[in-house]
């Protein structure tokens, strides 16, 4: 059994549910471009970078446009997304998350963020969680998307903790793979069948405790 010294959290789908705001913003773009974009389509964008998400959306709508136009549409989507997340409040923190952060702090287990989102710092500020984090790695500080382990390895490096002593919490398949590729343990948050490569899966942080970190 390895002593766990740090927990690294994905943001969307683990700490907070921002997928619903991404959906509203992407759907508005698809409406404008004249094709249907459903909640099922939105599942394909979870954990995926902004530009890759746009490419997937355009593939769904069979729309071909220049790189310049893509940049413009991504910026337009992001403007709408930001207008939505600016209205977020601490009430949107997913159940059990803050209590778990407190117990980690009390037991000197470090906390890092490992998110693909370039808007992560703004979201953490809106939900008043920034102060819990010893390190923040987000879409602004990485070159390679999950399942590449870069985001989590940087988190471990910033914390000064060996990757084998880190546990990653992830809701996306690519995120679970990124943790495994980084030599870390991974607890899936969500559906056990979907996240079957994780060490184990919880449906939410009300099921989580320090004792369960010892595995
Ligand atoms: P942004 P995570 C991801 O966050 C979202 O799951 C994904 O849907 C989004 O496209 C990506 O962030 C980039 O977000 O446009 O704000 O940079 O799950 O890695 O915390
Ligand atoms: Mg996620």
Mutation to probe ligand 1, out of 18, 122, 174 (largest number of atoms < 8 A from CB): 18
Distance from C-alpha of 105 to C-alpha of 129, rounded to nearest angstrom: 13
Q: Give me the pLDDT at residue 47, please.
A: 87
Distance from C-alpha of 147 to C-alpha of 59, rounded to nearest angstrom: 21
Ligand 1 centre to CA of 148 (Å) is 15
Distance from C-alpha of 74 to C-alpha of 80, rounded to nearest angstrom: 10
Distance from C-alpha of 47 to C-alpha of 52, rounded to nearest angstrom: 10
Distance from C-alpha of 67 to C-alpha of 167, rounded to nearest angstrom: 38
Q: Give me the pLDDT at residue 2, please.
A: 83
Alpha helices (runs of H) in the chain, residue ranges in sequence order: 19-33, 39-43, 50-60, 67-85, 97-106, 120-126, 150-159, 173-181
Mutation to probe ligand 1, out of 13, 39, 47, 114 (largest number of atoms < 8 A from CB): 47
Domain spans in the chain, listed from the N-terminal domain onward: 6-17+91-213, 19-85
Angle CA(149)–CA(153)–CA(156) in degrees, nearest 5?
150
Q: Give me the pLDDT at residue 1, please.
A: 74
- CB of 54 closer than 6 angstroms to any ligand 1 atom: no
The fourth-level CATH superfamily of domain 6-17+91-213 is HAD superfamily/HAD-like (3.40.50.1000)
Residues of the chain with pLDDT under 50: none
Distance from C-alpha of 178 to C-alpha of 38, rounded to nearest angstrom: 27
**Contact residues for 4 (Cβ-Cβ < 8 A; gap 6+):** 109, 165, 166, 167, 185, 213, 214
Query: Is 12 annotated as catalytic?
Result: yes
Q: Give me the pLDDT at residue 71, please.
A: 98
Atom of ligand 1 at shortest range from CA of 146: 19
Candidates 3.30.1300.10, 3.40.50.1100, 1.10.150.240, 3.40.640.10; CATH matching 19-85? 1.10.150.240
Q: Give me the pLDDT at residue 182, please.
A: 98
Tokens of 101: 């952060």
């Amino acid at each position: 059994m390895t002593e766990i010294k740090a927990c690294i959290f994905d943001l969307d789908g683990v700490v907070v549910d921002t997928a619903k705001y991404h959906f509203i913003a992407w759907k508005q773009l698809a409406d404008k471009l004249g094709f249907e974009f459903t909640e099922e389509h939105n599942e394909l964008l979870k954990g995926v970078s902004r530009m890759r998400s746009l490419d997937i959306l355009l593939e769904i709508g069979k729309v071909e446009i220049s790189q310049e136009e893509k940049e413009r549409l991504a910026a337009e989507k992001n403007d709408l997304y930001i207008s939505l997340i600016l209205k977020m409040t601490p009430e949107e923190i997913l159940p059990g998350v803050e209590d778990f952060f407190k117990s980690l702090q009390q037991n000197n287990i470090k906390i890092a963020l490992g998110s693909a989102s370039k808007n992560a710092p703004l979201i953490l500020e809106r939900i008043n969680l920034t102060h819990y984090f010893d390190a923040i790695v987000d879409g602004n500080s990485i070159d390679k998307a999950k399942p590449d382990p870069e985001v989590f390895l940087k988190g471990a490096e910033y914390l000064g903790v060996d990757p084998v002593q880190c546990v990653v919490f992830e809701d996306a398949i690519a995120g679970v793979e990124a943790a495994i590729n980084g030599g870390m343990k991974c607890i899936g948050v969500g559906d056990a069948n979907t996240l079957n490569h994780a060490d184990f899966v919880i449906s939410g942080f009300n099921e989580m405790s320090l004792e369960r970190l010892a595995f």
